[in-house]
Amino acid sequence: MRVSGKRIALGAAALSSALVIGIAGTASAAVGFHAVSTSGKSEIGGNYEYKYAGQADTDNPRGGGKNLYDGKFTNASATDRVGGDGVESVLALAYDEYKNGVWSHKTNVVAVVNGTRTWTFSKKADVKAYACDRAVNTTRLLNCKAAW
């Protein structure tokens, strides 16, 4: 799958605008994304949508009123660009999650391995997608590169 420079630039501009709006107030956006791992062996892509879903408990000093977002990934794919090399393609996530009055940062959350999937999420912040390599039958993610 090849994506033109104009399409990537347009997606980046839309995401940048959405992030600026998110800092200033409520936000929503639908953005196409694409990334290739630093080794060039794995490629991810798809569509990412999010919308403002409120704020974490503003009375809780650990919650601090940080914005929460609901959203979905549509046709999110992880494609192995080099078959037969013992490495699989992974779309991994990192995000902040607010549960029981406490924020926690999650990293290396495997969402898709060598395939395509659609899913939703709720009450997350700072969601990021990464293209990663992973040796078959292991859990360690390698050569990750952020899509945004």
How would you label 40-61 residue by residue, b for 16+ Cβ within 10 Å and e otherwise?
ebbbbbbebbbeebeebeeeee
CB 140 within 8 A of CB 87: no
pLDDT at res. 138: 98
Tokens of 142: 């390698």
Domain boundaries, the chain: 5-146
Tokens of 70: 């609901």
pLDDT at res. 26: 58
Instruction: Scan for tokens 């630093």, then name that residue.
Output: 38
- Evaluated on CA atoms 129, 130, 134, 139, the torsion sign reads negative
| More confident: 42 or 26 | 42
pLDDT, averaged across the chain: 86
CB 140 within 8 A of CB 134: yes
Instruction: Tell which phi-psi region holds residue 101, choosing left (phi > 0), alpha (psi between -120 and 50) or beta.
Output: left
What is the helix, strand, coil percentage profile of the chain, to 5?
A: 15, 60, 25
**Residue 77, strand partner residues:** 45, 116
Predicted TM-score (pTM) of the model is 0.80
Q: How many CB atoms lie within 10 A of CB 147?
A: 22
| More confident: 120 or 13 | 120
pLDDT classification of 62: cutoffs 50, 70, 90: low
pLDDT at res. 103: 87
The least confident of 18-32, 44-58, 108-122 is 18-32
Average pLDDT over residues 27-51: 97
Whole-angstrom Cα distance, residue 62 to residue 65?
Answer: 9
